A and B are shown apart, each in its own frame.
Chain A
């Protein structure tokens, strides 16, 4: 019965100077699970995500993907992984950013192909096919030759998703991917994410879109003040509200969650 979680975060701590953003976070994500992290700003959600692919070096605790510690050779605070090692680990996680971060000098297709060619060492034709396949899946088969500057925000973000997913990562990290989008462009991106979830992609999502979290996640995790304050399936989380004032205050801002159906 005990299947090791794909992603295992234990007692994670991270400080920026004197500010301890993550005090002790425990979180597991199983293969095929979609876990959404919500919480007030400054609570540590984005920092948590960025520790998983070691864009931030965590100070203490452990993050293991498939049993292997990310970032450090043995344990946190010890010897960091070397450049090549770290790059290989990062290739196993895909990240989609709030500000897209597409490479402006490359077309959509080339953006997706870069990792396939240089990291996965795929031959040109194969990389092209994979890139085109994923751009088609996100609905941009007609824009493969476009530069990011020629795409709308929603389109750019979909390219960002394709770029991350084409690498065939074990887990996808989504960092507030709709926060920088105009409202009318948010849905096209969320639809893509929903599809990926249905296809069994393991995802750790940080978002403000509570309705989306409720509909698409297997589990919602509420992080506040650097710790996991509450977690559960979307239905169970409502039960937690009664005993958790922090959670209640947070959700009070989102009428939609309190609305029945």
Chain B
């Protein structure tokens, strides 16, 4: 038992450092995917037909392959084509691509779930297109977008664990490294699992709170 406690105490600083990396990666991925994803999502809804097809195609391809394949494809596949990225940035690129496809879908869902009547009412009081978007559509779209998006952030955190396979020392890799030294796999896996759980569970709980808060927007 003492050995167990020793192992855990030994592990904590490494795990915390790994956690920091996990959070950093997740944060960058979430931020980038949010900006790019919403922009492309709006393009998907209001853009010209060729653009819509292109975005649709890319999104379907990205969502149709496993994240792991995406990560390996980016990490191993870009250098031969001339682009050399560190494992950190290759992982972030791959995860961002993955998450962006999700955000595009959230955006599309949020806007298209707004009843047609809203646009019509906005037209009927004489608002022009940009005004309709700004005062009627977007305020409602944001409130429909936030809960599922916040819930989806957990996918970024869970996906970040895969960067360990590229050698990036995140929480997952820290766990592996400590196990390699202390030979106490189970307690460390459980400990790591609990840390991931704590982060993601809080995120999804917040998402549920937001969902209830904004229920009025869905009539």
Contacts and interface: CB of A to CB of B under 8 A. Distances in A.
User: Is there direct touching of A and B in the complex, by C-beta distance under 8 Å?
Assistant: yes
Interface of A: 53, 55, 83-84, 87-88, 90-95, 97, 99, 101-105, 114-115, 118-119, 147, 149, 163-164, 167
A91 B125 CA distance: 5
Nearest first, the 9 closest Cβ-Cβ pairs linking A and B are: A91-B126, A115-B125, A101-B121, A101-B117, A149-B216, A95-B124, A119-B126, A87-B128, A105-B139
Contacts, number: 74
Interface residues of B, number: 22
Nearest to A112: B125
B125 A119 contact: yes
B158 interface: no
27 contacts: A53-B124, A83-B128, A83-B129, A87-B126, A87-B127, A87-B128, A88-B126, A90-B126, A91-B125, A95-B120, A97-B117, A99-B117, A101-B115, A101-B117, A101-B121, A102-B121, A103-B140, A104-B216, A105-B217, A114-B127, A114-B135, A115-B126, A118-B127, A118-B131, A119-B126, A119-B127, A147-B216
A115 B131 CA distance: 10
B141 to A, nearest CB: 10
B84 interface: no
A171 to B, nearest CB: 12
Contacts of B125: 90-91, 94, 114-115, 119, 163-164, 167
B118 interface: yes
Interface of B: 115, 117-118, 120-129, 131, 135-136, 139-140, 143, 216-217, 219
Contacts of A119: 125-127, 131
Contacts of B139: 105
Contacts of B216: 104, 147, 149
A55 B120 contact: yes
Contact of A104 (B122, B131, B217): B217
Contacts of A149: 216, 219
A118 B135 contact: yes
A167 B121 contact: no
Contacts of B129: 83
B135 A101 contact: no
Given A118-B135, A149-B219, A104 B127 contact: no
B124 A90 contact: yes
A27 to B, nearest CB: 20
A84 B128 contact: yes
A181 to B, nearest CB: 15
B139 to A, nearest CB: 5
A97 B126 contact: no
A256 to B, nearest CB: 30
A105 B143 CA distance: 9
Contacts of B126: 87-88, 90-92, 115, 119, 167
Nearest to B116: A101
A90 B122 CA distance: 10
A16 to B, nearest CB: 15
Nearest to A55: B120
Contacts of B121: 95, 97, 101-103
A115 B120 CA distance: 13
A167 B125 CA distance: 7
A77 to B, nearest CB: 21
Contacts of A99: 115, 117
A97 B129 CA distance: 20
Chain A CB within 10 A, most for which of B120, B126, B136:
B126
A196 to B, nearest CB: 17
Given A91-B125, A118-B135, 8 more contacts: A87-B127, A91-B126, A95-B121, A97-B121, A103-B135, A103-B140, A114-B125, A149-B219
